[in-house]
Amino acid sequence: MSKILLQCTNVNMGYGRKVVLPDVTLSIERGEVLGILGPNGAGKTTLLKTLLGIIPPVHGPVTFPSGRDQVRFGYVPQRQVVDETYPLSVAEVVLMGRYGRIPPGRRPGREDRQAAELALQEVGLTALANNPYRELSGGQKQRILIARALVGEPSVLVLDEPTTDMDLGSERAIMELVRQLHTERALTILVVSHLLYVVLNLATEVAYVKNSVRQLPIEQARQADSLSAFYGIPVRVADLGGVHVAI
């Protein structure tokens, strides 16, 4: 079986006939953490929606060398876009991620509820199962959305701006949770962020998005010349006890 789960070769991505990202060549291997990095408006969302199959490519295919049945996405949206109008409990929000595995017309059963309990346990929030979701802190909401994605048993976990508007403690906790899931579940992970710090400390590969896409292994992506060329200003990375910081 191929190590590559998903691949694009010279694919044009955009909307209708409008090309936003031309000639995208990208591959995602089983078990890697791909950081998708770029400024607001650079095309990160276009890339993500195309990879997830939400929008079709303008030209060229997105292929699955290991087989389409080997790729099940678990999507974690930015928590700011989640509708909190309905007073759902934490457990109800997590269980929503199970619906894709439940046959039409069937209600969630014991197996589904057990899967939700396990997902809550993995993110460390079992005690909050009956609490209203909308009353949680930002960091807690992010963990619940991760649990909602996990309950669908994905092979690829997709995190869209997972640490936006968080304090430093919550940001570090979410990053540590992602590392834990990568190790313990052997998940392939896509992390979309405009924050250099997040990507440099989580990813094994980096896709720079700016007019097109350039994919680099993390060792090369951390080099001063790569970062300076991408941002258009002098940038280098310092290793502070295993934590990489751009300066």
Task: Output the domain CATH number for residue 15.
Answer: 3.40.50.300
In tens, the pLDDT along 47-101 reads: 999 999 999 999 999 999 989 988 999 999 886 667 777 788 999 999 999 888 8
* pLDDT for the residue 1: 60
Tell whether 77 is covered by a domain. Answer: no
Phi, psi of 57 (to 5 degrees): -65, 150
* pLDDT for the residue 109: 86
Tell whether 155 is covered by a domain. Answer: no
By the 8 A CB rule, do 208 and 230 touch?
yes
Tell whether 205 is covered by a domain. Answer: yes
Tell whether 145 is covered by a domain. Answer: no
Tell whether 236 is covered by a domain. Answer: yes
pTM assigned to the model: 0.91
CA distance 168 to 161: 15
Percent of the chain predicted with pLDDT > 90 = 66
CA distance 1 to 127: 40
Tell whether 122 is covered by a domain. Answer: no
Domain of residue 214: give its range.
1-72+186-247
By the 8 A CB rule, do 3 and 28 touch?
no
Phi, psi of 134 (to 5 degrees): -70, -10
For the record, the structure tokens of 206 come out as 């980096």
For the record, the structure tokens of 60 come out as 């060229």
Q: Flag residues of the chain having pLDDT under 70.
A: 1, 79-81
Tell whether 104 is covered by a domain. Answer: no
Chain mean position to CA 216: 18
Domain tally, the chain: 1
Tell whether 54 is covered by a domain. Answer: yes
